[in-house]
Amino acid sequence: MRVLTRLRHALSPLRAVALAYVGLMLLVLLLAPVISPHDPLTQDVANRLQSPGLGTHLLGTDELGRDILSRVVHGARVELLIALGATLLAMVLGTLLGLLGGYFGGLVEVLTMRVLVDVLLAFPPIILVLLAVTLRGPGTATLIVAMGVLFAPTFARIAYGQVISVKRLEYVEAATAFGAPTRTRLLGVILPNISAPLIVQVSLTIATAILLESGLSYLGLGVVPPTPSWGSMVAQGQRYLSSDPHVLLVPGAFVVLTILAFGLVGDALRSGLDPKSRNQR
């Protein structure tokens, strides 16, 4: 209950709107085929490049006459699936690395935190994903795995720092004294107690993943067409920028709003869950 109260206090009006938007996006993820007014791939060349307005195409059509709203809705689905998948993978991998490195120390720490984590952090993120795409070719699976590995170090560092600070505390020693096996101590005792900052990181990582994925799709190296994705819609729109800017601006706005919303929800979670955050005056 106390956590819920604190979270409510952390919820400024702006953050509440962001939370509602995130909820809406998750709904879109589940219901995309039901919500979307048209088929995202059906071409209607007679009605190409229509401006947004009240009518059959609320957000207008693109250069092949495809309904932009439907494409945005289906794009959201792909975008979120990849972002959620990569984040989940990163969380599991990273938390595991951090737990092991922090708890055992010594050689395990060197291998996990120094070798694996530091090396992965020695690349700008997008560069490693491009290396993976060169080897495997673009596609949803490549993206999820590459970004999952790439974002793992952030979770590892957080988990590592937390484990170091709690592993000598009484409740962990009590579990040891009662004969709990290492696995129980790590996953049953320590993990629940260090989960708050990891949960905060989930929301922020989703935002970063969307940023990265849309960028790759913009380059034509992410989601493979004809599957609609926000990044490739922006790339298409660039060709009609002077005559029909809406083809670019509509998907662009959704990328910005979605990243912003997940970022703000992350901020709210941080000030609600993490008593040490000193972002407030």
CB of 279 to other proteins, least distance (A): 7
Residue 3 vs 241, nearer CB to other proteins: 241
- Which residue carries 């975008």 as its tokens? 79
DSSP 187: I
Contacts of 134 (CB under 8 A, 6+ apart): none
**Binding residues with other proteins: total (CB under 8 A):** 50
Query: Measured between alpha carbons, how far is 144 from 135 in angstroms, rounded to an integer?
Result: 15
Measuring CA to CA, how many Å separate 245 from each of 199, 249, 253? 38, 6, 12
Residue 76 vs 186, nearer CB to other proteins: 76
CB of 141 to other proteins, least distance (A): 11
Query: Measured between alpha carbons, how far is 281 from 27 in angstroms, rounded to an integer?
Result: 35
Residue 1 vs 127, nearer CB to other proteins: 127
- Subset of residues 112 to 151 that bind other proteins, contact rule: CB under 8 A: 115, 118-119, 122-128, 130-139
- CB burial readout 90-113, b (16+ within 10 A) else e: bbebbbbbbbbbbbbeeeebeebb
The residue among 195, 192, 205, 194 whose CA lies nearest residue 265 is 205
- Subset of residues 37 to 76 that bind other proteins, contact rule: CB under 8 A: none
Q: Does 237 bind other proteins (CB under 8 A)?
A: yes
Q: Does 220 bind other proteins (CB under 8 A)?
A: yes
Query: Which parts of this chain interact with other proteins (CB under 8 A)?
Result: 14, 115, 118-119, 122-128, 130-139, 207, 211, 214-215, 218-221, 231, 234-235, 237-238, 241-242, 245, 248-249, 252, 255-256, 259-260, 263-264, 267, 278-279, 281
